[in-house]
Structure 1
Amino acid sequence: MIIGTAGHIDHGKTTLVKALSGVDCDRFAEEKRRGMTLDLGYAYTPSFGFIDVPGHEKLVHNMLAGITGIDFALLVIAADDGPMPQTREHLHILELLDIPRAAIALSKIDSVTPERLHSVHEEIRRLLATTRLADAPIFPVAAPHNEGIAALYAHLTAAAAKTQKANTHGGFRLAIDRAFSLPGAGTVVTGTAFSGQVRIGDVLRLSPGAHSARVRSLRVQDQIAESGQAGQRIAIALAGIDKAEVRRGQWALDPQLHLPTRRLDAKLHVRPGEAPLKHWTQVHLHLGAEDVPARLALLGADIISPGSSHWAQLYLERDIGALNGDRFILRDASARHTLAGGIVLDTAPPSRRKASPARLALLAALAEPDPGAALQLAAEQQSAGIDLASYARQRNLPRETLATLCQRLGLQVIDDTAFAAGNWQALRERLLKALAAEHERAPDLPGVERERLRRLTLPTLARSAFNALLHEQLSHAKIAQSGAWLHLPEHRIELAAADHAQWQVIAPLFSAQTHNPPRVRELARSSGLAEANVRALCKRLARHGTLWPVAQDHFFSAPAVAELAHHVARLNAQHGHARAAHLRDIIGGGRKVAIHILEFFDRIGYTRRVRDTHVLRGDPEQFGTPEL
């Protein structure tokens, strides 16, 4: 169990931690000289670990760097002073971060009369009465004399035994609150693990940032260990990285969770008694160990009234790491006053229609602890399906958990995209309607090319999803394919008798030179037909689907293009791309012809040119059978 102290300056937090653990958390000479905590301190016992935080008003940013992610709060209030300004602010912060459990240490009881002790006890109860800590036990203590320490220690030990094990599933995330160098160990980062597990030898990404590093060694709860997990304080020695490349506020995490953002959607809550929170307020965001200036854009409202919650989008001054479910605190622009608390909902929010009713409904679903609620609604809202990989990263869900969730919700899953059952049926109908509309628009064409049909159905639909949708309709004979053309089964066109007769004359010339057939002029010379007539015939044959116009006056037969498409697909499988030289070696002939073929595939969207290579975008099956 990780315990975080809280309370006003000079109320005895560090002295109390020392009495409970035997460790003096003031590690800096300046702290010892001035008798006040300036930065985070740490102490450990067999049952729990302490994060001792500063109590000075000007050091709340340091307090927030340590308090996020704790299991238990120990609010320290001195009997001579009673509740003070930082007592109240720290209490507000604990509430806004939704810290689940707490105890109150009423310190310095040896310095007051019994009457004062009773009075301050009642004052504390009144302070807590309207908060989540209303039922928290109060332990009178005098730490220098060990008075009351045994009872408090016993309570903390019992609470630690009841602490639920943190979720170790999902990717590893550790909020870095300290970085230093040690001889023999190199750069060491420390922090609280929010999720997942880490082992020696793992590679972690420092996020935000451009660096990755291997885990050289670990200390967990200040003990040498082979592994660590969520809910623990962990020190990680990183190989191959300099201390200057690490800062407080970064995350050490699974590289798959590296998702830096400057914009996020969140649910905010303003405590009763606070001032209303207005649209476009300048704030400081404290999340994990990070502190970053930001602007607040309320979604669908002008203010958030005290005691109320609402949706907002935060525009950050620099990249931070965040995921759905992370809790944070907002302070004012001068970092002197706590304004609100919140929970991250989406770290890749839309920039348009961000306050539409549909978007606000999705934010409400994203705020639910059950990830299925948002997944179901998002799948229903998005006709083109929801990206499962992105959704899994946003909520740090293991893929097997996501697969089970999709099965429970009855979603149609194609590769990494999930569709609501109703949307998948609507796509079937849109596909058939698009095809019927094209037949009506161009009745003399044999059908529609695959890529064009995808755009007509839904331009944002992923190719893999469209291919699955199309395959489903082909297998049920709702759609037929003739070469590269897709059409309704009842849609048929025939060549005119004259065109058919002339095609029979020139067809053998295409079969004789499959990968470099004669050009229009050569066809006319060999067949004895007029060049203009051959050119017009080839264009009509291209509209019919018998030929493809690969280059100016250079037509290839449909089976030849299908074979070439398969060659290009195989080259991409082998090399990750196709080059003219590689294709030339396969088909023979000159390099110029290979260039024309690849440029043709670029033009129709089957490949995409990347410098002097051609990267596959389509499916060779869209060209039909390659048999000649």
Structure 2
Amino acid sequence: MDSIVIGTAGHIDHGKTALVKALTGFDADTLEEEKRRGITINLGFAYCRLPCGKTAGLVDVPGHERFVKNMLAGAGGIDIAMVVIAANEGIMPQTREHIHILHYLGIQKAIVVITKIGMVEDDFRELVVEDAKEYLATTFLQQAPMVQVDSITGQGIPELTSLLDFMATGVRREAVSRPARMPVDRVFSVKGFGTVVTGTLNEGSISLNDELGVYPQGLPVKVRGIQIHEQAVPTARAGQRTALNLAGVSVEQVRRGCVVAARGSVQATCALDVHLSIAPDASQPVKRMERLKLYLGATEVLARVILMGRKQIYPGEECYGKLQTESPVIARKSDRFVLRSLTPVQTIGGGRVVDPAAKWSGYTDDQALAIMQTKDKGTSQQVLEAFARETLFGDKDAIASAANMYDVGKYFETLMQNGRIMFFENRVVHVEALQTLLEQTLSILEVYHTQYPLRAGIPKAELQEQLEFAGRPREFEWLQGWMKETGQIGQSGLMLYKAGFAPVFSKKLGTIRDEMLAAVQKAGYSLLTDNELVGNDKDRQTVLEALLQTDFMTVAGHVILLRTLYLQAKETAVRLARAEGAIRLSDFRDSLGTSRKYALLLLEKMDREKFTSRQGEERVLL
């Protein structure tokens, strides 16, 4: 079933609901209050079959300024807009506001429909038409076709249907192959079925028994029923008005503004990089950090606007900025949004999402602005690289998703050939991000070498703690390997140091070092303690700390041993285990020529290292 979505827009009582009924035969006003008051309050839905064979789902939106938020919840997914202007009133305040909204939502196809032509004389109607054309010439609707109708008599309805049919043939679906995403505009419960949500499926397809998620909560759900225009179907596709019966979630857990999507395909965020546009007739400029209402998909949320490089933006101007939302939202790059002021309540602007998961970085405004411009208007390769640059070891698919790009293998390949990125398994390493991390590493090493000039270097674990890097151990090992291969750092045991660094002992400290080495070597397996080596001498303590990174190690607590002797003790344990089938304390003690106490300390250390395992009074190799 090939479908499109047609939406109405216009001032209250200009005949939108009557027009929908004339086109479809359905009364979209279903609430008792709507019928009693004669106005549309909530979204209404109807459908009809067009001559081209496509099914048109019609979204009837309220025209009263108090219900603009309801209008916005249904306007985001429409393919063709019918801007309704009553012949007996002409352009009115909500006409202008709805036109602004359609513009900010990026609606490309629209028809201007002059309704109620049977209620006025021809001269007055012509005056209204000319006045409308004069205003529309200043908007994105300047080239939109205009049709005059009377929804009661049916005059003009065939011409309007024909025009809608012609436009419908030009609607193309490019997002069917992408992960499913559907903003929820209605939630209700059906007896015997449970939770039902409706919306326009923006991307992808949804089939029976699909396991999806409800976001931003991330609630897992299963699709147990799908309806398109009141007909049960096995699959819904992008562009269709869709009703989903969801298992695993209650009505109370879902609300208008939630998004049903493929699991893991979207990410909740409270920070968006955006391109902003302020309406020419906005009553006042928008100031940096001003609190506004953000309408994104079917979501309404409060947000603060942070302008890039300026303190305010005036009516008719555009700029880049960030939106800091007060609760999580779901977005993709290039999604359109609308902004309304809190006082007075009016639509003042809108724009498009540049980055759905904006970073709070140390960039200057100029740097952040340049990055946003590249993400927004760069070539496909430039956009992909801009997103890759901001993450170290970023997943290829996640980077492509953030950039809202697919089939990006050729771009990654070109970036790699040009030396802009490297790969570690399925993860992308951008050379600039890598260079930043290298500079951080060298800075940490310089500080460490200054603070501890006698130590061979910084322990690996300590370096990883200090770095602004939260990768996995294997990724950290890869980083170290790259830094060593490029000659930036060196390694001594478990210590890392800046290339060219070497501990420098003064004559006095060098003498102490030689004395300590000789003492520990002479003691052999009759182990000495750090107190026996140092006492209260600060210089000796400094030397001991340096030697513990190179020649010495602690066996237990404050007991000191040469690293080479410990390795020899392990070899002895291996020899005994192979010869006797197990390691007995007495045999180990005699082989080392030490006391039972020190032999036991050595074996217990091997146990802790999982080199040996105690079984009764004996030990075996692991």
- Give matches, 1:413-492, under 5 Å: 413-414=423-424, 418-421=428-431, 424=434, 445-452=455-462, 459-460=468-469, 462=471, 464-472=474-482, 481-486=491-496
When residues 335 and 386 of structure 1 are mapped into structure 2, their CA distance, relative to the original with a 3 A threshold, is farther
Mean CA deviation greater in 471-480 or 547-556: 471-480
Structure 1 letter corresponding to 2:181: R
Q: CA contact under 8 A between 2:375 and 2:387: conserved in structure 1?
A: no
Mapped pair 1:73 → 2:81: yes
1:417 and 1:471 mapped to 2: Cα distance? 16
1:559 and 1:110 mapped to 2: Cα distance? 103
Q: CA contact under 8 A between 1:166 and 1:231: conserved in structure 2?
A: no
Equivalent position of 1:583 in the other structure: none
Displacement after TM superposition at 1:177 (Å) = 0.6
- Give matches, 1:155-554, under 5 Å: 155-209=163-217, 211-257=219-265, 259-279=267-287, 280-334=289-343, 336-351=345-360, 356-368=365-377, 372-377=381-386, 391-392=399-400, 394-396=402-404, 401=407, 404-410=410-416, 411-414=421-424, 418-421=428-431, 424=434, 445-452=455-462, 459-460=468-469, 462=471, 464-472=474-482, 481-486=491-496, 509=525, 520=528, 532=533, 539=544, 542-543=547-548, 545-549=550-554, 551-554=556-559
Q: CA contact under 8 A between 1:284 and 1:292: conserved in structure 2?
A: yes
When residues 473 and 356 of structure 1 are mapped into structure 2, their CA distance, relative to the original with a 3 A threshold, is closer
Displacement after TM superposition at 1:294 (Å) = 3.2
Displacement after TM superposition at 1:190 (Å) = 0.2
Structure 1 letter corresponding to 2:422: Q
Q: Secondary structure at the match of 1:367?
A: helix
1:61 and 1:548 mapped to 2: Cα distance? 69
1:492 and 1:437 mapped to 2: Cα distance? 14
Residues 490-535 of structure 1: CA distance to partner in whole angstroms, max 9, x if unpaired?
A: 888999887776666666x4xxxxxxxx8646xx9xxxxx954999
Mapped pair 1:58 → 2:77: no
Displacement after TM superposition at 1:179 (Å) = 0.8
Displacement after TM superposition at 1:184 (Å) = 2.9
Residues 197-238 of structure 1: CA distance to partner in whole angstroms, max 9, x if unpaired?
A: 322222332223363321111123443222223322111101
Q: Secondary structure at the match of 1:144?
A: coil
1:562 and 1:159 mapped to 2: Cα distance? 81
1:331 and 1:154 mapped to 2: Cα distance? 36
Q: Secondary structure at the match of 1:124?
A: helix
Q: What's the C-alpha RMSD, in Å, of the aligned pairs?
A: 4.2
2:555 and 2:470 mapped to 1: Cα distance? 27
1:562 and 1:372 mapped to 2: Cα distance? 53
Structure 2 letter corresponding to 1:182: V
Q: Secondary structure at the match of 1:102?
A: strand
Residues 284-304 of structure 1: CA distance to partner in whole angstroms, max 9, x if unpaired?
A: 222211222333333322221
Equivalent position of 2:128 in the other structure: 120
Displacement after TM superposition at 1:484 (Å) = 2.6
1:440 and 1:8 mapped to 2: Cα distance? 72
Number of positions where the alignment pairs a residue of Structure 1 with one of Structure 2:
555
- Give matches, 1:611-622, under 5 Å: none
2:235 and 2:45 mapped to 1: Cα distance? 20
Equivalent position of 1:577 in the other structure: none
Of the two, which has the highest radius of gyration?
Answer: 2
Gaps of 5+ in 2: 569-598, 610-620
Q: Secondary structure at the match of 1:145?
A: coil
Displacement after TM superposition at 1:427 (Å) = 6.0
Displacement after TM superposition at 1:311 (Å) = 2.6
2:440 and 2:301 mapped to 1: Cα distance? 47
When residues 550 and 76 of structure 1 are mapped into structure 2, their CA distance, relative to the original with a 3 A threshold, is farther
Equivalent position of 2:99 in the other structure: 91
Q: Secondary structure at the match of 1:339?
A: strand
Q: Secondary structure at the match of 2:548?
A: helix
Gaps of 5+ in 1: 510-517, 525-529, 564-587, 599-626
Displacement after TM superposition at 1:53 (Å) = 0.6
Displacement after TM superposition at 1:17 (Å) = 1.4
When residues 10 and 447 of structure 1 are mapped into structure 2, their CA distance, relative to the original with a 3 A threshold, is closer
Structure 1 letter corresponding to 2:315: P
Q: CA contact under 8 A between 1:266 and 1:346: conserved in structure 2?
A: yes
When residues 369 and 240 of structure 1 are mapped into structure 2, their CA distance, relative to the original with a 3 A threshold, is farther
TM-score normalized with structure 2 length: 0.76
TM-score normalized with structure 1 length: 0.76
Displacement after TM superposition at 1:551 (Å) = 4.3
Q: Secondary structure at the match of 1:136?
A: coil
